[in-house]
Amino acid sequence: MFKRLILVAIFALCLMLISTQIVGFAEAQGLKDSAVAAWSFEGNFKDMTDNGNDGKKLGKTTFVVGKFGKAISLSGKGDGVITPKLVSMNEVTVAHWSKCTGRIGAWRVWINVDGWQKGAVHHQLYPGNQIGWSIHTNTPTDVQAKLLIDDKQKNKWNHIAVVYSASQKTVKFYINGELNSEGKYTSVGPAILGPARIGSWNGGGRDYQGEIDEFAIFNTTLSATHIKSLATKSLATILSGDTSVEATGKLTTVWAKIRACH
């Protein structure tokens, strides 16, 4: 009787681990399928998706040790990455790691579409150190997160994700995997995210000083679970569709125990 109870418990654990792997695989596949462009900056500006949206070096952008592998380092003097034209999107998620090292209290760009036409997205830091998301002709144009990237946040890595939905008329800010704030629109339109620049703007004067890593754009409103994955795993792991190696190892151990019970 005791062995039977042990067997039932182990079998239940096994099913739980299998379910975890299935959910993890579906989660990774969903992120992979919705990725429009992703740059991990591993010594290059290549797009990690199959869409061919490679970036181009701007200024004296260099590579340094980042949050995962390498990151780009920007001096605040005209450095950045030029990104190609992308289709407009009614739903979009932009996610990246950011470490601000200077120009506190000035305009600092994460990604700004060239110019300022209808639907153009400007995702940047304001002179008041607010994390912002702006879409030209939306009402309101600017929405801001609660966290300030100021002297207290200087030299710290933060994962930032912005989730925009034209159909729901909302924009959500996630900081380090947690929902930080949500804004509402009364008038909306599709978002344009390219051609653009990461870390700079072709209008000038808004150069980012610091490091940026794991920059990705998705054509959907990612869930809180997806955002948590982006804030804890590398893009290489997520976009490869790989599931948890640890869970696989535990599953093997469980099966061995089940066999031993017979």
Please give the CATH architecture assigned to the domain spanning 35-239: Sandwich (2.60)
> What is this structure's pTM?
0.83
The pair of three-digit structure tokens given for residue 127, joined into one six-digit string: 């002179």
Q: What is the pLDDT of residues 40-91, one digit of tens each?
A: 999 999 999 999 999 999 999 999 999 999 999 999 999 999 999 999 999 9
**Residue 231: count of CB within 10 angstroms of its CB:** 20
Domain boundaries, the chain: 35-239
pLDDT at 240: 87
Which of 116 and 250 is assigned the larger pLDDT?
Answer: 116
Q: What is the pLDDT of residues 114-168, one digit of tens each?
A: 999 999 999 999 999 999 999 999 999 999 999 999 999 999 999 999 999 999 9
User: Considering the chain, what is the average pLDDT of its residues?
Assistant: 87
246 pLDDT more than 80:
no
